[in-house]
Amino acid sequence: MSATEGQPAFASRVATAAKKVLSTKAERFTESVIREMTRLAFEHNAVNMAQGYPDYPAPAEIKEAARQAIADDYNQYAITWGAKELRDAIARKFERTQGVRVDPEREVTVCCGSTEAMMATMMGIINPGDEVVIFEPHYENYGPDTILSGASPRFVQLRPPDWSFDREELARAFGPRTKAIIVNTPNNPTGKVFSREELEYIRDLCVRWNAFAVTDEIYEHIIYDGTRHISMASLDGMRDRTITINGMSKTYSVTGWRVGWVIAPPDAATPIRKVHDFMTVGAAAPLQQAGVMALELPPSYYQKLAEGYQAKRDRMLGILTGAGFRCFKPSGAYYIMTDISNFDFPDDVSFAQNLVEKIGVAAVPGSSFYDDPTMGARQVRFTFCKKESTLAACAEKLSRLRPS
């Protein structure tokens, strides 16, 4: 039809527009199952043990610092790669806790949460066809991070019960096209904390294949039974090939503030900063200011945080074991991966669906953490960063569950 034959009706123009092929990259991943489970928890009035965010108040002094920052008029854009005082505080804390000295002027970039930090990192360092090694089960965001940045993932299994990896399998995943390996320690969803020996083995592969280690250390202070968190950047030879991702969310119980950061050597920080700037310009200025105060909290703050979560972990292990789950005890982070073989369900998704609809507890199906969903078909993840009344409600509801 030519333009002179008259305008097509509005509805048919909309229909024509809808036929356009939209992003084929976005078609390759689903919406976040973790966040979907939170929506279902609200819908079914279920106890939300799915998404990892605290349901108790954030520390009073941090909230007061944010209020004060707004009153003091930190209300316009901060420098795109982060307020100087916050970058300085991040550099000081990294040196204090991990002994790694970084230049806040060139090596620290503040982002909107570690989610953006990871995406900006991947978009900043990856070319199409580059390979990225990813341990699985893995935090679900790494899938879309890989697809949107154009990387080809190479998955390496962490195997229960201790979530160790096969060294040969890892070595085989590296090659001349490897741009990076993603290491998440303490690990979501397994609670694994990588040992120095494991990190050194990974280090040797990174050096051999000239690859970056991108390490997501967001749970660094949530660690149990005297286990130590070791930053990859602190290992000999890794200072300049490690990109460390972290943030305020988990350490200071402010997951909604969206303040995270990337610590990267200058050659990597330059493209990461550009991607970050054009994606978000910057994280909320007054909340960055509150971060300056938070990052100077004394060691006792972190000790109490870990002790509090260890008690919750033990409580949740008791609840889940009592209800018939086989639990893999975490050494860090605030999740418990479970095996659901004792229950008569075809897979993790139908189990989680029944759990949220009929029992009233939301959890995350294990398949969300694997490339191949069948790998997670016997697993379900529970979080325990919840107040005692929530844990008690979870216990009460799960007591209605009947193992077969």
| CA gap 299, 290 in Å, rounded | 18
Q: How far is the CB of 202 from ligand GLN (least distance, A)?
A: 22
Binding mask 285-324 for ligand GLN (x = CB under 6 A): ----------------------------------------
Nearer to ligand GLN, 35 or 167 (CB): 35
Angle between the N-to-C axes of helices 299-322 and 388-398, in degrees from 0 to 180, rounded to the nearest 10: 10
Nearer to ligand GLN, 35 or 172 (CB): 35
Supply the DSSP symbol for 7. P
Total Cβ atoms within 10 A of residue 9: 9
Of 109, 187, 188, 289, the residue at the interface with ligand GLN (CB under 6 A) is 188
Please, are residues 68 and 80 in contact by the beta-carbon 8 Å criterion?
Answer: no
Binding mask 214-243 for ligand GLN (x = CB under 6 A): ------------------------------
Q: How far is the CB of 35 from ligand GLN (least distance, A)?
A: 5
Confirm or reject binding of residue 51 to ligand GLN (CB under 6 A). Answer: yes
ω into 299 cis (within 30 of 0): no
Nearer to ligand GLN, 52 or 291 (CB): 52
Of 49, 52, 135, 345, the residue at the interface with ligand GLN (CB under 6 A) is 52
Q: How far is the CB of 84 from ligand GLN (least distance, A)?
A: 27
- Nearest residue to the partner ligand GLN, using Cβ: 52
Nearer to ligand GLN, 188 or 246 (CB): 188
Please, are residues 317 and 327 in contact by the beta-carbon 8 Å criterion?
Answer: yes
Please, are residues 381 and 140 in contact by the beta-carbon 8 Å criterion?
Answer: no
Q: How far is the CB of 236 from ligand GLN (least distance, A)?
A: 31
Burial (Cβ within 10 Å: 0-12, 13-18, ≥19) of residue 226: exposed
Nearer to ligand GLN, 52 or 144 (CB): 52
- Interface with ligand GLN: number of residues (CB under 6 A): 6
Sign of the dihedral through C-alpha 307, 313, 315, 317:
negative
**Helical (H) or strand (E) element with 181:** strand 178-184
Tokens of 30: 């689903």
Nearer to ligand GLN, 123 or 235 (CB): 123
Displacement of CA 218 from its chain's centroid (Å): 7
Confirm or reject binding of residue 35 to ligand GLN (CB under 6 A). Answer: yes
Confirm or reject binding of residue 246 to ligand GLN (CB under 6 A). Answer: no
Q: How far is the CB of 22 from ligand GLN (least distance, A)?
A: 24
Of 34, 180, 223, 292, the residue at the interface with ligand GLN (CB under 6 A) is 34
Of 109, 115, 242, 246, the residue at the interface with ligand GLN (CB under 6 A) is 115
Nearer to ligand GLN, 364 or 395 (CB): 364
**Starting from the edge strand earliest in sequence, which strands make up the sheet with 152-157, in order?**
108-111, 260-263, 242-247, 212-216, 178-184, 131-136, 152-157
3-class secondary-structure state, position 6: coil
| 318 HSE (CA, 13 A, CB side) | 10
Confirm or reject binding of residue 30 to ligand GLN (CB under 6 A). Answer: no
Applying CB under 6 A, which residues contact ligand GLN? 34-35, 51-52, 115, 188
